[in-house]
Each structure stands twice: as C-alpha cells, then as structure tokens.
Amino acid sequence: MRNFYLFAVLALASLSAFAGNPDRQGEAGAYELLLNPFARSAGLASMTTSNVAGAEAMRINVAGIGRVNGLEVNVSNMQYLVGTDISMNAIGIAAPMKNGAAFGVTIAALTFGDIPLTTTSTPEGNGATFTPTFFHIGLGYSKTFDEKISVGVGLRFISQQIFNASATGFAVDAGVQYVSGEEDEFKLGISLRNVGLGMRFSGDGISTQFDEPADGRFTLTGKNNVADFDLPFQLNIGTSYDVNIDQDNKVVLIANFTSNAFSRDNIGGGIEYSFRDFFMIRGGYNAEVGVAAGSFEAPLTRGLAAGASAAIPLGGIDTGRKRYLYIDYAYRPTRIYDGNHNIGLRLNL
C-alpha cells in the first residue's frame, strides 16, 4: 500500500509540470501512440485506467496486464476516420505467471494506403505510389501484491518510415491499479504513458539536390536540418465502481482524467452493463477541458464512444476456469469523415 501512495503522490505532483497546455499543441510527434486499436476499451473512449485488464492494458495502464484468468490473445483492427484508408492493426498477448506476475506483448501497425508520389518536378505525380510504415512493439511486466495492488512497467519500440526517411525511438509506460471492497468493487488507477526522449527523422529523404551555383555543371546534395520531436506524454487518473445488481447483472461506472503535455486536458465518464459476462454494452463521453463543443478548436472526435461485446463459450472447462472467445466492437463519431470503427477478437484460455 505504501508503494501505491508513493506512486500516486509522484503522479499528482507531475500534474503541475505536465498540465495540459494548448500553446504546445502540435509540438509533439508519434501521435499514433495515443490511438487505441482494442475495441473493448475504445468503447469507453479509452478511459479504463482503473479497470483495464489483459493485453489491452498495454495501451492504457500496463499495471492491468495480469488481471485476467489465464492466457489472453487479443487481435483488433481500427478503421480510423473512415474514408481516409487509414487503419491500425494490433495483436496483444497477456500471460499470467507465478506469484502474481504477468507478462504482456503488443504489436501495432498503422497503415495509410497507397499515397501518390510527387516531387518538385512532378507535382501531379507520375503514377508511382508509396506507403508509410508506422509500427510499435511493446513489452510489459506487472506484479500484483496481496491481490489488491498491481504495479506495471512497459517499454515500447517506435518505428516510423516515410518513403526514404525514417525515425526510431523508445517510450516507457508505468502504472498502478488498486482494488478495494468486499467484492473488489472499487478500483483506482494511475498511469504514465509515452515517457521518452525525442525522435528525429534521418535518411536520403531529408536531403536536397541542387546545381552547383557557379556554372551548374555539377549536382550537389545538401542535408536539411531536422529538429527532434517529443513524444505525446500523458498522465491518466481513473476510478470505477462495480454495482453488482445480482448474480447475472452488473453495472460498472467509470470516471477518468487525462493530463496531456502537448494539448488540453481531458475529462470524462462512462458506464458498462454486463449480463453474466456473456454480453456487455458500454458507452461514455470524453471531452477536452476549456473547449466548447462545435467550436473551431474542438477536437477531431466528438467525445462520444459506444461499444459492445459478446462471448462464445468454448469447450474444455477445467480447473474451474472458463474459456471464451469474445467479439468486441466500438464506434466513435468524428467531426469529419465517418468516424472510427474498432472490431476485435479476444481469446481467453
């Protein structure tokens, strides 16, 4: 318990240092780190800092990796801004080990479709195309103490490649979850995400060729100066409460606050209804602090999120552990294009 309070104090203290700052909007890069491909938590606008569990915890709060009964495999696809051909595919694995420890791994790739290749001499393109490649590989470890406090840390390798220029970097995540109550109905979570050094693009794509200024008989190649860009640091603080109506029906209430180092802060809440862990429906609203809805500065997403999950029982029930295949779906409307759609398959063994 002492370690949890220490982490909470440090996280709250960092609020003043990394509080939301709209003047720094756009100064960071690698914003795909903030996209959540996993449908279950996306249906609550990724506000599940306190109660996220399994492989998708690698994207929200790494402390929740081990809060699953057995091995979990999660495969998801997110169609981002439908109509732009942008999508993210991800696979995550969470594996509990002995003595409350757990290990997690995720691989996510962002695709943009085929983009016409243009140059200064062919601004309309010449029929050739290219496809940027953005992907991440994350490793995480969590440890649960006395079945009440979970602490986790994760490391993510980041790679971005655009034609003949690329950038690589590393980000560190850390988190803690605390559960309390006779039936562990109260949960509290804190997570730090995307802590790391800046990234910088390099390669032939940032060089420029020009004629030798004296008589133009030679072609010279000059290297352009490229600045570093920061990672989109976040601090999340969330809480949830399980209302156990009876043995078959449960309602989960959640609230979450996000402090962004390079944009305004976010605050929101949501609700999830579960019937016998076979069917779940959820929804929430997450808004930027200090921005009026419909204004020019309003975020791309409209704040709303909704989703559902259905379970298919699998055979081979042994040692009291049930095996399920979950189908997850989530949707978030956006101000432009046709919103974000998430769909995933989650296997619990």
Q: pLDDT tens digit string along 42-80?
A: 999 999 999 999 999 999 999 999 888 889 999 999 999
User: What's the rounded Cα separation, in Å, for the pair 217 and 127?
Assistant: 30
User: What's the rounded Cα separation, in Å, for the pair 308 and 275?
Assistant: 12
Q: Does the pLDDT of residue 18 top 50, yes or no?
A: no
Model confidence at 170, in pLDDT bands (50, 70, 90)?
very high
Q: Does the pLDDT of residue 318 top 90, yes or no?
A: no
Query: Which has the higher per-residue pLDDT, 297 or 100?
Result: 100
User: What's the rounded Cα separation, in Å, for the pair 99 and 325?
Assistant: 26
| Tokens standing for residue 129 | 């195309």
Q: Does the pLDDT of residue 13 top 70, yes or no?
A: no
Contact 341, 330 (CB under 8 A): yes
Of residues 113, 240, 135, the one with CA closest to residue 179 = 240
Going by DSSP bridges, is the β-strand pair 340-348/149-162 parallel, antiparallel, or unpaired?
unpaired
What domains lie within the chain, and their CATH numbers? Answer: 2-118+128-348 (2.40.160.40)
Q: How many angstroms from the chain centroid is the CA of residue 121?
A: 39
User: What's the rounded Cα separation, in Å, for the pair 158 and 200?
Assistant: 12
pTM summary value: 0.87
Which residues make Cβ contacts (< 8 Å) with residue 6, sequence separation at least 6? none
Instruction: For 100, list phi and psi in degrees, rounded to 5.
Output: 80, 5
Contact 188, 175 (CB under 8 A): no
Instruction: For 205, list phi and psi in degrees, rounded to 5.
Output: -70, -15
User: What's the rounded Cα separation, in Å, for the pair 77 and 86?
Assistant: 11
Model confidence at 113, in pLDDT bands (50, 70, 90)?
confident
